[in-house]
Structures are given as C-alpha cells and as structure tokens.
Amino acid sequence: MAEFSIITNYFANRGVNRKDVILGIGDDCAITTLAEQKELVITTDTLVAGVHFPKDTPARAIAHKAVAVNVSDLAAMGAEPGWLSLAITLPEQNEQWLEEFSAGLFELADYFNMQVIGGDTTQGPLSITITAQGMVPQGTAMRRDGASNGDWIYVTGHVGDAAAGLELVQGKIDVPEKYRSYLTNRLHYPSPRVLAGQTLRGIASAGIDVSDGLLSDLKHILNRSGVGAKLNLESLPLSEALIESVSEEDALRYALCGGDDYELIFTVPEAKKGSMDTALSSTGVSATCIGQITASEDKLDLMLNGEVLEDSFAGFEHFKGR
C-alpha cells in the first residue's frame, strides 16, 4: 500500500494550524510548546471494526467517533483540546472511504481547534487509534477520586439514546420513523461535552464520561473516591425519542447499562450547586441531578419512586441480562 501517498493526500497539511505547534506531520516526532502554568492531559482510545462499531458504519461516522471518544476523555478531565495523532490500520486503499474518513476527522478536529500532528499508517484489519492531548491550568483537572459523602450526582444531556441507536442499526429493535435519525446520530455522531467539562473545573468534585454505561462509569467514581451512591431512577434524563420508542423498562436498561452516550457524570458539593448552575447555563448544556453520594463504600442503591429497587451492582443484571 502506498503509505506515503495516503499520508500526503488525506492527513498531512490539513485542518487548523495551531501557534503552539513547532513541528507537525513530516518528521519522526511532532514538537509542541505548552504554556506556563499549564499541565498536559493525555488520552488514547482504539476503535476496532466489528467490535467498537458495526463493520458497515459510514467512514465519516467512524472518524467522528474516533475523535469524539478521545475528546470526551479530555472533556471529562476539564481539559482544553490541543493536538491529536492518528494511528490507522486499513485493509485496502479505498479512495472514497479515505476521503470520507478524513473529512469526518478534520470536521471534528477543526471544530475543537485541534491540530493533527502525527500518526502511523499500516495495512491490516480496520482499526483506528487516536491519541489526544489537551491542557488544564495546574492542579485543576477534574478527576475520578474527589467525590465525598453528600455530594450531588449529575449527568449532562440525555442517557440511553446511543444504546437504543445501536440496537436500531443492528436491526434488534424498530422505532417510530421520526426518531430513527436522531437515535442513529446519537450513536454515530456523539457530541463530547468539552465546554461543560472546562466550566466544571473547580466546581465538580469528581467527573467521568459515559462510555461503558452510566452505572459502570459511575462505579469508577465510587471506587476511586471510596464512597457509595443512591440513584433516583425516575430522575434519569431520557429523551422524548427514547421514551416514545421503547418500554419504560428498556429505556431504563439503555440509560443505566448502555454505553456510547459520551455525556458527563459529575459530583458537586452542596455549597457549589449555585456556581454549577451559573457555569453550565453559559454553555447551553443541561445537567440533571440523578442522586447523591453516600458514605457506604462501593454500595449503590437504585431507587424508583422512593423504593429501593436493587442493592449492589449485582442487581444490574436485572436490567442488563435481557
């Protein structure tokens, strides 16, 4: 495969040029500067065809998602996006596929003012690995380990849509015509909550993005912070599309156990709730209070209309198992 022509034609000299990039694509490494008083925040995620996305996913959507999942990790730390590298393994040199893929990649990279500064191109089964780097003012990153007893638990946007979208494209469920493109787009074109993440720095005590599912991702906050939680399931923010498309039980199952929403879960001490409302309203992102952190380490109570539904994470199998 003509590796160099792929790099030159589709990935080099494209997109934004950031002032802090000293040397971009073309040498053995890229070189960037980092402003004083800032810390570097780094993340990597791989998407494998047939594992992380269905094989027939449009190239533009694969690229969008590959960038979005990485940017969502930056958002979950409260970081400002900076640079990204792309390691791509391609089964063949398909010009149209590459055209669409690079269009999707640079569309999102440009939107977040990220420069593509390097990568690797190899032949094999389709797989995309992106490394994204961002920055935060020293000591301000939003981590998983800061939640305390009494903090309120919030989630941005709506949860469960992407999981319903996946079952829809897999032909496992059918939904009313008018909700099809909304749910599919929530799966293929997630919107990382970058501004919300940045604005929550210094306000949220802990944060994480929803990639594996609300419960398993919340569990990471609980583990790392040494706390428990009580969730009010009737408060979960479900979209109209989800409510109108599936049963109440399925909607809860998607919202709790489905992944790929790329919303943010974060915890806020009572004393910071006011600042949180003010900060978030300036970003236009909604956040819903879904429960509260408790002192009982690693214990999760799921409440529905005031009654304890399930105790401990084993109870999720009830939702997950179907």
283 binds, options Mg ion, ligand ADP, none, Cβ within 5 to 8 A by partner type: none
Determine phi and psi for 289, rounding to 5 degrees.
-80, 120
Nearer to Mg ion, 121 or 283 (CB): 121
Residue with the two structure tokens 């893929």:
101
In the complex, minimum distance from the CB of residue 96 to ligand ADP, in angstroms, rounded to a whole number: 17
In the complex, minimum distance from the CB of residue 83 to ligand ADP, in angstroms, rounded to a whole number: 11
84 binds, options ligand ADP, Mg ion, none, Cβ within 5 to 8 A by partner type: none
In the complex, minimum distance from the CB of residue 41 to ligand ADP, in angstroms, rounded to a whole number: 20
Nearer to ligand ADP, 30 or 168 (CB): 30
Position closest to Mg ion via CB? 28
In the complex, minimum distance from the CB of residue 190 to ligand ADP, in angstroms, rounded to a whole number: 22
Determine phi and psi for 181, rounding to 5 degrees.
-70, -35
Contact set with ligand ADP (CB under 6 A):
7, 11, 25-28, 86, 88, 116, 118-121
In the sheet where 38-48 sits, what is the strand order? Answer: 38-48, 127-137, 80-90, 115-123
53 binds, options Mg ion, ligand ADP, none, Cβ within 5 to 8 A by partner type: none
In the complex, minimum distance from the CB of residue 122 to ligand ADP, in angstroms, rounded to a whole number: 9
Contact set with Mg ion (CB under 5 A):
28
116 binds, options Mg ion, ligand ADP, none, Cβ within 5 to 8 A by partner type: ligand ADP
